[in-house]
Amino acid sequence: MPATKVSDVVRIEVAPAGDRSYEVVLGEGVLGELDVVAAGRTRVAVIHPRALRATAMTVVAALRAQAGAEAHAVEVPDGEEAKQLRVAGECWDTLGRLGFTRDDLVVGLGGGATTDLAGFVAAGWLRGVDVVQVPTTVLGMVDAAVGGKTGIDIDAGKNLVGAFHQPLRVLCDLTTLTTLPAVEVQAGLAEVVKAGFIADPRILELLEADPTGAAHLPELVERSIRVKAAVVSGDPREAGGREILNYGHTLAHAIEKIENFTWRHGAAVSVGMVFAAELSRRVAGLDDTTAARHRELLREIGLPVEYRGDRWPSLLDAMRVDKKARGRRLRFVVLEALGRARSFDDPEPEHLIAAYRAVAAGGAPVVEG
């Protein structure tokens, strides 16, 4: 990982094998580039959450004035509420009313939930129209908006319906983060920590020096994007290597499902990584110090590192519909060492239970059967 410091604007190339490459642009004010990307489009739909209504209005006005497009704001619910089939359906109805054609453009302006939804809407409309992602949360910038995974939640589980649909460009404007509540910054830092453990340990040092992330935010965001860009370039459709980005996510998605998607994704990933680290210690030879470093750092950041002990049986059920599972086999991402992640199939039940004990609040996990 290069020791570059973010100067003004950083451009990171994502080159997915078998697909066109695109840039992730990071810096202050880069949202202005949207007018250039949208030039020549007849219609642009800016999908945004309520919280970003004012920003969306400004963006739409600029697209009309600078890009000469028929631009429209399409408001969706805040956060995870937007990742529903009903909301996607409403967006498609809107595109229908606007007469959206194959060379029109969707823009996803918001956090990861919005960019996941907007990407899915773009992937489905006329079997695929262009999408530009404009993430406005730390999590969206470092992870969700990059790499073309799009989707929605259903009752059966998190992100179970979706498509791979790479964006045309990703514009990460750091000035949009000024309105982001601290708790959302913390949630985003969970994915930053993930990038640190799986690929770039310098990230961990920067966060240990300042667990708020504030002192090094541009560098943390840049480093995390570089990790994601490298991984998805090598394996855009998760045929293998991309699975490492799911570190901590098998348990995290199960928690999110059980909590009816009311937990922040980053908070669930935090618990999931403490669990995955303990599993890694038991089945993949991860050293004790690196395993313990997960809990210490995540706690310092202010993220949760525990979940209900009595929920183990339902968590286990939920993990069986994880996308990495094959047949009756569960699959987890584990660390062999700092910066060395891989998949691991079918851990012995006693290892899973022991790993869950590391995060189970209120004592030992309840085990059925």
Ligand X SMILES: O=C(O)C(=O)C[C@@H](O)[C@H](O)[C@H](O)COP(=O)(O)O
Ligand Y SMILES: NC(=O)c1ccc[n+]([C@@H]2O[C@H](COP(=O)([O-])OP(=O)(O)OC[C@H]3O[C@@H](n4cnc5c(N)ncnc54)[C@H](O)[C@@H]3O)[C@@H](O)[C@H]2O)c1
Residue number, 182 or 337, with CB nearest to ligand Y: 182
Stretch that binds ligand Y, among 171-179, 279-287, 306-314, 338-346 (CB under 6 A): 171-179
Q: Which conformational region is residue 25 in: left (phi greater than 0), alpha (psi within -120 to 50 degrees), or beta?
A: beta
Stretch that binds ligand X, among 100-108, 141-149, 179-187, 303-311 (CB under 6 A): 141-149
Tokens (6 digits) for 198: 């799986």
Give CA–CA dist 160/293, Å, rounded. Answer: 31
The verdict on 149 binding ligand Y (CB under 6 A) reads yes
Residue numbers 264-293 binding ligand Y by CB under 6 A: 265-266
Give CA–CA dist 363/369, Å, rounded. Answer: 19
The verdict on 116 binding ligand Y (CB under 6 A) reads yes
Q: Which of ligand Y, ligand X, none is residue 282 near (CB under 5 to 8 Å by kind)? A: none
Catalytic-residue membership of 216? no
The verdict on 108 binding ligand Y (CB under 6 A) reads no
Q: Which of ligand Y, ligand X, none is residue 268 near (CB under 5 to 8 Å by kind)? A: none
Rounded-to-5 percentages of helix, strand, coil across the chain: 50, 20, 30
Residue number, 136 or 250, with CB nearest to ligand Y: 136
Strands 70-76 and 43-49: parallel
* 82 labeled part of a ligand binding site: yes
Closest CA to 187 of 150, 221, 138: 138
Tokens (6 digits) for 178: 């000024």
Choose which of 107, 142, 198, 245 interacts with ligand X (CB under 6 A). 245
* 178 labeled part of a ligand binding site: yes
Catalytic residue among 43, 48, 169, 242: 242
The verdict on 111 binding ligand X (CB under 6 A) reads no
Catalytic residue among 228, 281, 295, 323: 228
Catalytic-residue membership of 228? yes
Strands 105-110 and 340-345: unpaired
Give CA–CA dist 319/298, Å, rounded. Answer: 23
The verdict on 137 binding ligand Y (CB under 6 A) reads yes
- How many residues in the chain? 369
Tell me the catalytic residues. Answer: 127, 149, 191, 228, 238, 242, 246, 249, 253, 265
